[in-house]
Amino acid sequence: MRLLLIWFINAAALFAVPYLMHSVTMSSGWTALLAAAVLGLVNALIRPLLILLTLPVTFLSLGLFILIINGFMFWLVAQMIAGFHVASFWSAVGGAILYSIISWALSTLLLSNDDGKA
């Protein structure tokens, strides 16, 4: 149940990004659900490999290269999903940052802390 809620939170965050950035478009809520699922899979399967391969660059940039990797993942999913369009790579980097912030905020507000700690 929690995984389904996280998926909906991520889809809502992805659906909100075009309202804040005009260079990112989303055709429907169904597209946002599909894109959130694909983005989750891409981040789970491809992102760790890219982080490992670019570790020296990430180290030299003090971790800022992770933002480029996140933007690339966002852009890659936009290329894969019809109805989800990102105007440029730098728009994808900005969209990924915005998506992360919105997703974090919604998760903080909607998901309860179940481990009993404050």
Report helix angle 29-45 to 65-80, nearest 10: 130
* Of the candidates 74, 69, 70, the residue with the CA atom closest to the CA atom of residue 57: 69
**Model pLDDT for residues 23-32, shown as the tens digit of each residue:** 999 999 899 9
Measured between alpha carbons, how far is 50 from 27 in angstroms, rounded to an integer?
A: 29
Statement: residue 114 has pLDDT above 70:
no
CA dist 38 → 60, 64, 117 (Å): 30, 24, 33
Measured between alpha carbons, how far is 56 from 38 in angstroms, rounded to an integer?
A: 28
Q: Calculate mean pLDDT across residues 49-66.
A: 95
Percent of the chain that is helix, strand, coil (3-state, to 5): 75, 5, 20
Task: Output the pLDDT for position 39.
Answer: 94
Backbone φ and ψ for 115, nearest 5 degrees, come out as -90, 0
Backbone φ and ψ for 108, nearest 5 degrees, come out as -65, -40
Bridge partners, residue 84, by sequence = 26
